[in-house]
Homo-oligomer: A and B are copies of this chain.
């Protein structure tokens, strides 16, 4: 006995490797196929279309194949409506719930495809008002409430992975092949500057994710300047970043070393603790700026320029500062909000915060990831975003060079 189902591929299915993965999946899982239609988009901006009849020896195999194809954006030609199942209790998803990818996704409700809002990976999809004016959104597992209508199974879901850009000369097409330090650093930073300027020119939202190494490596001034000049709309960081940034303003040091003179002043290794106690005394960063205590630095510029900053807590925090959100679920909520608003994300030397932000990003958001450790860059790029580029370079020279490109030397 042979069972079959017809699937469709649309978009830049050749460049993006979708077609290859499709064939691989079918054959790996013991199926077979006929190519019913194959229409190749010739010009760079034309899309392709293919229709395949997938054959399998039994229903279970066919279902496996269709599931795997689905993850790659290959969808059945004869879609059904999605299955909606009420959540049995708060925080408890129904059995067989559909867990999202980070690609743009539609669900079919009442015969119509509706887009899932705020798509991100590893969430459930909740549909509201399916009989009336249905809407769909992602929901993290611990945000599920009893009786939420959760999509289960895989019917009626359509995934649209973004295309890998074919044009290498574009702002985001400059990265091919693996992660390596052996790439032209300055030319690549120039490309990032062009991309960032383009996003700002279109009124886009730029989110910077920054670790304490930005400050330790002496890049604080350049980042503060980018904030002041309006290139940064939001900052996602932690208690350590803010503490060391403010310490630098108050004492000139970071990790106890003077950033300019490279001297280690007496008690330098206690400056971060003194900084925290000063800010606690003031009541918070904004208050310390208002009081005239904090007069420079990245956090100062964020306060003065109404840049949306989120300081997420971690178990290695000293203090923490009053502005730090110590509950990780609450902090994730704020990070999620920033991630969804961003059109471009620049990740600077922080694995923890970059992963946290990256978890909330759809695959279509542009991401630049900078770290001196190639393993960190690789790990961040492995999230399957076609729009992400990685630079293995020194953040201490990257940010000043980027600022020079954007702001000129004058």
Contacts and interface: CB of A to CB of B under 8 A. Distances in A.
A64 B265 CA distance: 10
A372 B353 contact: no
Interface size, A (range): 35 or more
Interface string A167-186: 01100001011111111111
A92 interface: yes
Nearest to A314: B328
Contacts of A257: 183-184
Given A191-B262, A213-B181, A280-B92, A40 B29 contact: no
A305 B240 CA distance: 37
Kindly list the 9 A-B residue pairs having the minimum CB-CB distance in the complex, ordered from nearest. A185-B396, A184-B218, A397-B397, A315-B356, A182-B216, A313-B328, A393-B394, A316-B355, A14-B23
Nearest to A238: B315
A337 interface: no
A359 B33 contact: no
Interface stretch (A198-206, A269-277, A286-294): A269-277
A392 interface: yes
A36 interface: no
Given A23-B14, A315-B314, A397 B186 contact: yes
A319 interface: yes
A23 to B, nearest CB: 4
A72 interface: no
Interface in A283-329: 312-320, 326-329
Given A141-B280, A335-B315, A394-B372, A184 B378 contact: no
B263 A169 contact: yes
8 contacts: A17-B17, A27-B44, A28-B166, A99-B274, A122-B272, A141-B318, A184-B396, A315-B353
A340 interface: no
A67 B265 CA distance: 12
A352 to B, nearest CB: 6
Interface in A366-395: 372-375, 378-379, 382, 392-394
Contacts of A346: none
Contact of A92 (B38, B181, B277): B277
Nearest to A17: B20
Contacts of A99: 270, 273-274
B174 A352 contact: no
Given A218-B185, A396-B186, A68 B314 contact: no
A391 to B, nearest CB: 9
A4 B332 CA distance: 55
A42 B67 contact: no
Most buried by B among A35, A177, A352, A372: A372
A286 B24 CA distance: 41
B393 A359 contact: no
A168 to B, nearest CB: 6
Contacts of A273: 99, 122, 141
A23 B169 CA distance: 19
A255 interface: yes
A168 B262 contact: yes
Interface in A7-36: 14-15, 17, 19-20, 23-24, 27-29, 32-33, 35
Interface string A255-268: 10101111110110
